[in-house]
Amino acid sequence: MVKLIGKKIIYLAIFISGNGSNLKSLIKKFKNNSKIKISLVLSNNPKAKGLFYAKKNKINYKTINYVNKKKAENIILNLLEKNKIEVVCLAGFMKILSKYFIKKFNKPILNIHPSLLPKYKGLNTHSRVIANKEKFSGCTVHLVTPVLDSGKIIAQKRIKIRKNDNVLKLSKRILKQEHIIYYKAIRKFVSIL
């Protein structure tokens, strides 16, 4: 890992694939932060609603064609270097970064996942949590490693499952918590780099 001590501004890139509510919340919260700047937004999906927030806030954004993953990852690596990105934050990015990418970037990559990791890695977390009649669920911010949803946990928020919860209700409540913990986790994480 590259040491960032002494640097004035830390540039973040946020990767998204869809709605971008986490991106929207992070843009708002980091707007007046003089040390941490979101300077690049990347999406594999040209229709990602989240791209609108980047555009609206005059943040450099790009759609990456993922038909050829290796090519896509090399384009991303070039963009990260060109934009002096020190930390990548995945916020609903639905592509798995390869071992090659993680090694080559060689700087921290954070992800937010809608479950209490290490439980419920992967997709459709809320429906699996409800089907298993869990008492609690939540969200986790963790470091990205080549093993899916398995890196070091940086922050976690637990919430109680209600009797009448369904996927929509639960996902909405968890998303609200994601917006709170992701911002706090990034700030804390960057401050100790």
Q: CB–CB of 129/170 below 8 Å?
A: yes
Which one of 32-40, 54-62, 111-119, 130-138 is the stretch in contact with ligand GAR (CB under 6 A)?
111-119
Min CB(7)–ligand GAR separation in Å: 27
Residues 126-185 that bind ligand GAR (CB under 6 A): 175, 178
Closest-by-Cβ residue to ligand GAR is: 92
* Residue in 113, 126, 142, 179 annotated catalytic: 113
Binding residue for ligand GAR, selected from 51, 72, 97, 114, defined by CB under 6 A: 114
- Look up 142 and say whether it is catalytic: no
Report the alpha-carbon distance of residue 83 to residue 65 in Å, rounded: 19
Report the alpha-carbon distance of residue 93 to residue 19 in Å, rounded: 10
User: Rule CB under 6 A: is residue 20 a binding residue for ligand GAR?
Assistant: yes
Min CB(21)–ligand GAR separation in Å: 3
By CB under 6 A, name the binding residues for ligand GAR: 16, 18-22, 50, 91-92, 112-114, 175, 178
- The catalytic residue positions are 113
